[in-house]
Amino acid sequence: MHRLDELHLRFQLHFVDHVRLTRDLRQLDALIAEAEDIARRAVQGAQERPQDDWPRVDLAIQRRMEVYTAARGAIAQAHAVAGLRDREASLLTGRGRLVLHRYVRHFAGQQRRTRDPGRLQEMIDDLLALWRHLEPLAKRLQVPSVAEEVSGVGRFIGFFLAERDELTAAWRSGSRMEQAEGLAEVVENLRADWQALVVATPRHLRRLGLLDRLIGTLDQALGMLMALRHANMPEIYEETVRQAAELLVQWQDERAATADLQALAPAPNLELQAYGRELFRNWRQQIAGDKAKRDRAWLATQCDRLEEIERILTERAAGMEDAELAWLRDALVAMERSHDGIVAAQQSADDGA
């Protein structure tokens, strides 16, 4: 059953609750062929060495084969009514949904004055980059649901632009004490991100854009804290200014060292891919148990770490898709869904307390 269970985990990862138009029929055909091979070997083994649990194993194999073949039929039907542009657009909007998950992790339900505007700008830039590819496709789509997905990307660009303005205003709103309190939390959040996403990642596997974003936001927060210093701020905020200034110098030095190393020896794609798979394996080992008791912050960080690898490989791919990048995005979708499910479970537990 072990091989059959591993096969089913692959099926769940790549084919359950995904947009059918984005799924690869050749990949599913290979999975079905592997399931058929498992079935043949199981029958042969049962004939040679009869076992009491054979009826249960046989029933499990039959039921899973029914699920796989039904999924293949549904995916083939979706492909049959769509054009190549529909499939391309659907793959692009799938990447847009990853950006929306990022928003949920880091902005939804949070106080704007404590959020990182650099992260929001990255999200806007990501959606605008997708839109440049989607806009030429939008007028020549055959499937209404795909056209609606494309329109949704445009709407979220508008939403994020408005949110950016609100966030910028929030940083400067309230009393000086309130502003200083919010900026101190921003600095602390940046420090946590640097530890989790930069320090925990080998230099040659880091995305320089991440370091630039963290440094840029820290510099912006420090500048605003410096402007507030003359207003008789409590000593705690003076300490925040001192620490932020020290961090800025340290981070700039680390950014320079990282860039120098990557210029001499950029990480091969295979090493980035292996690192992404290791992150996913570690995540899978940690998610067993009661959803309401899992560490939401840890799970969000794991999503961020895998997303960093996906972003590097996407930049390198320059629009070209491959099986490894598709696998990485499916893994990221699984992690995002788990995070959202855990957040919902924890909120439900809190409501029921």
For 202-261, write each residue's pLDDT tens digit: 999 999 999 999 999 999 999 999 888 765 666 777 888 999 999 999 999 999 999 999
Element (H, E) at 295: none
Q: What is the pLDDT of residue 333?
A: 95
Distance CA 176, CA 157 (A): 32
Is residue 233 a part of any domain in this protein?
no
- pLDDT under 50 in the chain at which residues? none
Total residues belonging to the chain: 353
Q: What is the pLDDT of residue 56?
A: 72
Is residue 29 a part of any domain in this protein?
yes
Domain boundary among 37, 57, 80: 80
Q: What is the pLDDT of residue 154?
A: 96
- Residue 130 and residue 73 share a domain: no
- Residue 167 and residue 114 share a domain: yes
Distance CA 99, CA 319 (A): 17
- Residue 87 and residue 119 share a domain: yes
Distance CA 274, CA 30 (A): 22
Is residue 193 a part of any domain in this protein?
no
Q: What is the pLDDT of residue 71?
A: 97
User: If DSSP codes are grouped into helix, strand and coil, which group holds residue 234?
Assistant: coil
Domain boundary among 80, 105, 138: 80
- Model confidence over 285-305: pLDDT tens digits? 887 666 555 788 888 999 999
**How many domains does the structure of the chain reveal?**
2
Domain boundary among 140, 173, 206: 173
Is residue 336 a part of any domain in this protein?
no
Is residue 155 a part of any domain in this protein?
yes
Distance CA 216, CA 252 (A): 10
- Residue 75 and residue 95 share a domain: no
- Residue 140 and residue 124 share a domain: yes
Distance CA 118, CA 212 (A): 9
- Residue 165 and residue 108 share a domain: yes
Alpha helices, H only, the chain: 2-15, 25-48, 54-80, 84-106, 117-138, 144-171, 176-193, 208-228, 235-264, 269-286, 296-317, 323-352
pTM: predicted TM-score of the whole model, two decimal places: 0.90
Is residue 210 a part of any domain in this protein?
no
Q: What is the pLDDT of residue 290?
A: 61
Distance CA 77, CA 21 (A): 9
Q: What is the pLDDT of residue 34?
A: 93
Q: What is the pLDDT of residue 239?
A: 86
Q: What is the pLDDT of residue 47?
A: 65
Helix crossing, 176-193 with 235-264: angle to 10°?
30
- Residue 66 and residue 147 share a domain: no
Distance CA 58, CA 9 (A): 18
User: If DSSP codes are grouped into helix, strand and coil, which group holds residue 197?
Assistant: helix
- Domain span at 24: 2-80
Q: What is the pLDDT of residue 237?
A: 79
- Residue 155 and residue 98 share a domain: yes
Other CB atoms within a 10 A radius of the CB of residue 51 amount to: 10
How far, in Å, are 151, 162, 179, 252 from residue 174 at the CA level? 36, 20, 6, 31
Is residue 342 a part of any domain in this protein?
no
Q: What is the pLDDT of residue 153?
A: 97
Distance CA 127, CA 160 (A): 9
Q: What is the pLDDT of residue 50?
A: 61
Q: What percent of the chain has pLDDT over 90?
A: 72
